[in-house]
Structure 1
Amino acid sequence: MTETTSTDSPAFPAAISTQQQAVEQTLTNNVLASFEDCTDPRLKQLMQSLVSHLHAFIRDVRLTEAEWNTAIEFLTQVGHITDDRRQEFILLSDILGVSMQTINVNNDALGNATEATVFGPFFVEDAPEIPIGGDIAGGASGQPCWVEGTVKDTDGSSIPHVRIEVWEADEDGFYDVQYPDNRVTGRAHLFSDDQGNYRFWGLTPTPYPIPHDGPVGKLLEATGRSPMRASHLHFMVTAENHRTLVTHIFVRGDELLKHDTVFGVKESLIKDFAQQPAGTPTPDGRDLLDAVWTRARFDIVLAPASIL
């Protein structure tokens, strides 16, 4: 009995003998057995499943030693470029869809609960607090945007005093942490009011590339993929007894919605960012000096923590 591969290339044999199959399977079995004495059931499951899938991949594609060495060199480069301001491993996870699939697995769909999407590599702890109606831009360049909405549970009850973290890139496509001067712009946190309402000024989201000057960028280039992300604004919403929500909202009409390089777009998260002509009165009376601005509404629904 023989097993055939999916290519006729001389580098990949047309048939694998029964004897060779036995050699390969014996190794897989031995590695799996090495974890049998693991006393942590979950760790044992993870390691044995990982070994099974990795060995199956190697056997399926008939991985060469040169290809494996290239993979090790690639991962080494990913590690070398990663520091406290840049997380290349998150970028790698994102562009392979691993981040998004992990989010899907850990955030069960629940009725009208707002859908989650990728966290991304640019969140920073301890962003400044702003009041209701404050401005997260902090001097970052871009078109002003008024964002407002409510926070409710899946039964429709308002949730007061919810912590809402918001962060975004400037109009040039850069987050504050990508600049060398330690600026804090385009990010803040605020709290919903007694009725669960929130509102703030930010910037109209624009498309931008993920950092592509490193190994992940080279991988995208080699595989004919774009590094571009669809225009978006990040949210992280936390409330007691509710599942923490990490999500974005996206700009309706953006040409990149179907080609987001980290696969983060979900239809329910696409929102209207309505253009407001110069001179249009702002909701809070802010004087924009006759600038064009946008406004968007994002009503958030949090799932109960018991769903976890």
Structure 2
Amino acid sequence: MNIVTTPDSVLHMATAAMSRTPDERLRTVMASLTRHLHAFVQEVHLSEEEFEQALDFIVRIGQATGEKKNEVVLAADLLGVSTLVALLNNQDPQGESAAALLGPFWRANAPLCRAGESIARDDTPGVPLEVTGVVRDTQGRPVAGAIVDAWQASPAGLYENQDPQQADMNLRGRFETDAEGRFHFRTVRPAGYPVPTDGPCGVLLSAQQRHPNRPAHLHFMVSKPGHKVLITQVFADDDENLESDPVFGVTRRLIGRFEAQRDGLAATLQHDFVLEPGEMKFPRPPIP
């Protein structure tokens, strides 16, 4: 009879049950996932109590996800999975810009702004920052009409959807490159900030004795039909947490040069982007 007889026999029966899946990719992915999960359980000899704790953690990250944050994405970030997926799928063989994880705070349909406009909409206090750059293709040609979507945390370390003191869509904006591929906007210098620690992911960080503080950065999503959407971040080169980012998002090519101006009373960032040919496909927004 084709029934379970030993712990090792469960895997064979589970993968056999999935073998008729019509979607080849789904069949491959689920069979591999099942093999690795079974191997993990066998390797650590997972106890029943630990299994219950794991299931409870998965339930709680779902329950903690809502309009203000996405705890599921945060969990993937803290385990390094988000960065791993971004790096695996963006190997920059033709010199395109380095990709980074999307993070849990991107919102679609940020305001479309004029060149040079400020995304600090409600007189957000902080060090003024002027951001400029050029978008090019892998042949070095300027990409006109590309949309540069930028978003960031405030100098207090909060995204606008986390902070009732900020206006809706504060520190978010989209800019269209000109005929020379140039973009330009004003903002305030972002601060580093802790990832949310008021949910199960915070409990996990505490148990692992890891700090929650991300280095200061700007998020960018650059798009143009005929090109793969670039999702990336640019980190402040003077931040003390560059080597200990809790979501493992910092790579050397993502570190930007934030230059102080007027004795530190203002700053500039010049950063260019290179787009890869491909399909313009946007990610699903983690929050509304």
State the SS of the aligned residue for 2:228: coil
Please give the residue correspondences for 1:81-96 in structure 2 after superposition, counting only pairs within 5 Å. Answer: 81-96=64-79
* 1:302 equivalenced with 2:275 (yes/no): yes
CA distance in 2, matches of 1:198, 1:25: 58
Superposed CA offset, 1:258-303 (max 9, x none): 001111111111111111116xxxxxxxxxxxx8110010011111
Superposed CA offset, 1:73-119 (max 9, x none): 11111111111331000000000001011111221222321000010
Residue 212 of structure 1 deviates from its aligned partner by: 0.7
Indicate the residue corresponding to 1:125 in structure 2. 108
Please give the residue correspondences for 1:277-296 in structure 2 after superposition, counting only pairs within 5 Å. Answer: 277=262, 292-296=265-269
Preserved contact between residue 242 and residue 250 of structure 2 (Cα < 8 Å)? yes
The AA in structure 1 aligned to 2:98 is: E
Q: How many residues align?
A: 274
Residue 199 of structure 1 deviates from its aligned partner by: 0.6
Preserved contact between residue 154 and residue 171 of structure 2 (Cα < 8 Å)? yes
Please give the residue correspondences for 1:235-250 in structure 2 after superposition, counting only pairs within 5 Å. Answer: 235-250=220-235
* 1:35 equivalenced with 2:18 (yes/no): yes
CA distance in 1, matches of 2:125, 2:17: 56
> 5+ unaligned residues in a row in structure 1: which ranges?
1-21, 279-290
Preserved contact between residue 135 and residue 177 of structure 2 (Cα < 8 Å)? yes
Residue 131 of structure 1 deviates from its aligned partner by: 0.5
Identity %, equivalent residues = 35
Deviates more, 1:110-119 or 1:55-64: 110-119
CA distance in 1, matches of 2:215, 2:227: 28
CA distance in 1, matches of 2:88, 2:278: 15
Indicate the residue corresponding to 1:145 in structure 2. 129
State the SS of the aligned residue for 2:179: coil
Indicate the residue corresponding to 1:72 in structure 2. 55
CA distance in 1, matches of 2:268, 2:164: 31
Could you state the TM-score of these two structures normalised by the residue count of structure 1? 0.86
Indicate the residue corresponding to 2:28 in structure 1. 45
Superposed CA offset, 1:115-157 (max 9, x none): 0001011111111111011111112332110010100011100
Residue 179 of structure 1 deviates from its aligned partner by: 2.0
Aligned equivalent of 2:97, options 114, 136, 139: 114
Indicate the residue corresponding to 1:3 in structure 2. none
Please give the residue correspondences for 1:133-282 in structure 2 after superposition, counting only pairs within 5 Å. Answer: 133-139=116-122, 140-180=124-164, 183-277=168-262
Superposed CA offset, 1:23-74 (max 9, x none): 2221110001001111110110111011000000000000000000011111
Preserved contact between residue 110 and residue 303 of structure 1 (Cα < 8 Å)? no
CA distance in 2, matches of 1:85, 1:265: 24
CA RMSD in angstroms, aligned pairs only: 1.5
CA distance in 1, matches of 2:63, 2:44: 28
State the SS of the aligned residue for 1:301: strand
> 5+ unaligned residues in a row in structure 2: which ranges?
282-288
Could you state the TM-score of these two structures normalised by the residue count of structure 2? 0.92
Preserved contact between residue 237 and residue 255 of structure 2 (Cα < 8 Å)? yes
Preserved contact between residue 131 and residue 268 of structure 2 (Cα < 8 Å)? yes
Preserved contact between residue 157 and residue 190 of structure 2 (Cα < 8 Å)? no
The AA in structure 2 aligned to 1:265 is: V
Q: Decide which structure has the larger Cα Rg and report it.
A: 1
Bigger relative contact order (CA 8 A; separation at least 6): 2
Preserved contact between residue 245 and residue 302 of structure 1 (Cα < 8 Å)? yes
The AA in structure 1 aligned to 2:45 is: R
